[in-house]
Structure 1
């Protein structure tokens, strides 16, 4: 499964209604570290298919969502489970750091 583009229109269905943990990548086209983060997210989306959902939120197009989750700098990754905020990481994250974020919430 590919990375889902998350918008305010599909947020409730794809994120809040998800039965799996969701990792949201808040990014923008002009953000160089975001472009470096993207291949890591895409690889993990394939690797963890069926276990974790990965979504991308363009902060320029979805300012309401960025504001709601208090995104001050990008890239920022937010982990949600059962529609609830669980974890956040600001800045470029390695594959291992993202997996650690996911594993922390799976133990709950």
Structure 2
């Protein structure tokens, strides 16, 4: 998983066709539970999907821009544009099903 912030997210999104972005915070228990799942997805989809991590406390402009009101929020971007959004913790299969529509 690649950690990005307000300054680097746009560049990361433009350099990857598909990017799964995990918006969370270090103090958020469901976010901590999701992190290993996102790492697994990053490994399994390496070269096809970039898995990015945004700490909403460190990147409030990015969180506001994409309407992140609850954490974790996972968004799928294609060519820099948000195409899907899942709010709240979900099992790994939910993220795999989401990716299956685009990979």
Q: What displacement does 1:13 show?
A: 1.2
Aligned-residue RMSD, C-alpha: 1.0
What is the CA–CA distance in structure 2 between the aligned matches of 1:80 and 1:25, rounded to whole Å? 11
Secondary structure class of the residue paired with 1:34: helix
Once superposed, which parts of structure 1, at least 4 consecutive aligned residues long, lie more than 3 Å away?
A: none
- Residue 34 of structure 1 pairs with residue 63 of structure 2: no
Secondary structure class of the residue paired with 1:51: coil
> Is the CA contact 2:25–2:31 (under 8 Å) kept in the aligned structure 1?
yes
TM-score by length of 1: 0.90
What is the CA–CA distance in structure 2 between the aligned matches of 1:59 and 1:51, rounded to whole Å? 25
Residue by residue over 1:32-66, the C-alpha shift from the partner in whole angstroms, topping out at 9 and shown as x without a partner, is 00000000000110111001000000000000000
Tell me, which stretches of 5 or more residues in structure 1 are unaligned?
Answer: none
Q: What displacement does 1:103 show?
A: 1.9
Give the equivalent residue in structure 1 for 2:46: 49
What is the CA–CA distance in structure 2 between the aligned matches of 1:62 and 1:73, rounded to whole Å? 14
- Residue 8 of structure 1 pairs with residue 11 of structure 2: no
